[in-house]
Amino acid sequence: MLSGFFKSAALTASAVAVTLTLTACQGPGGRVSVLEGDTVRVAPGSTYAWAPDAQPGSGDPRIDNDIVQGRIKTAVDTALQGRGFTLADPASATLLVQFHIGLQNRTETQVSSFGPSPAAACGVRGCIGGFGWGMYGAPRDFDVRTINYTEGLLMLDLIDRASGKLAWRATSQRRMDNRDADQARANAIVADMVKSLP
């Protein structure tokens, strides 16, 4: 009877661990959130065009340049056309596309401990610490590290051309590195963002 209970508890614990692991995994887009309009919807296979003057400058030279802007536009075209959308003339397209990007410098503090673990002998009358350090054992050392990193945000908007209303928005937020500026990484990030499109 008890062995069945322990097997059941072990299976439940394993299932919870797998669920937590899957929840913690992020795709290439990092933390992706999607917002859909209430009054206008994105129809499968719609035509789209780039909104005129869609990308206002951010004032950050790391992203306000033709190379980065061109790679993001290529990634968006590739992802949308891969989902069945067709690039069309701005005067006749159903949707207008624009994106916004931004970078922010952030700092993270990590604390890790090392040294001997508390050694104690426990019995019916409680626990007694080992090595003369008392019940909590020897003191531990801590290593505190400050990590500077850059967090990037990419926002992709699909606007209903007829009404001018936002129909769909995906936002990707993730820690960036030098490799994120290459075309393959940009393609993967945007493909992850548009997965929810019909």
- Whether 81 is in a domain gets the answer yes
- The whole model's pTM is what? 0.68
Quick one: which H or E segment has residue 97?
strand 95-114
CATH number of the domain that residue 87 is part of = 3.30.160.670
Lowest mean pLDDT among 64-68, 111-115, 170-174: 111-115
Distance CA 177, CA 6 (A): 45
- Whether 115 is in a domain gets the answer no
- Whether 103 is in a domain gets the answer yes
Res 122: pLDDT: 60
Distance CA 58, CA 99 (A): 12
- Whether 157 is in a domain gets the answer yes
- Whether 64 is in a domain gets the answer yes
- Whether 114 is in a domain gets the answer no
Distance CA 195, CA 33 (A): 11
Please tell me the total count of domains within the chain: 1
pLDDT of 190 over the 80 cut:
yes
- Whether 171 is in a domain gets the answer yes
Res 64: pLDDT: 87
pLDDT of 185 over the 90 cut:
yes
Distance CA 119, CA 81 (A): 62
Q: State pLDDT tens for residues 64-100.
A: 889 999 999 999 999 999 999 999 999 999 999 999 9
Range of the domain at 70: 27-107+149-196
SS3 of 167, please? strand
Res 9: pLDDT: 41
> Which of 36, 9, 70 minimizes the C-alpha distance to 157?
36
Which has more pLDDT, 3 or 158?
A: 158
- Whether 51 is in a domain gets the answer yes
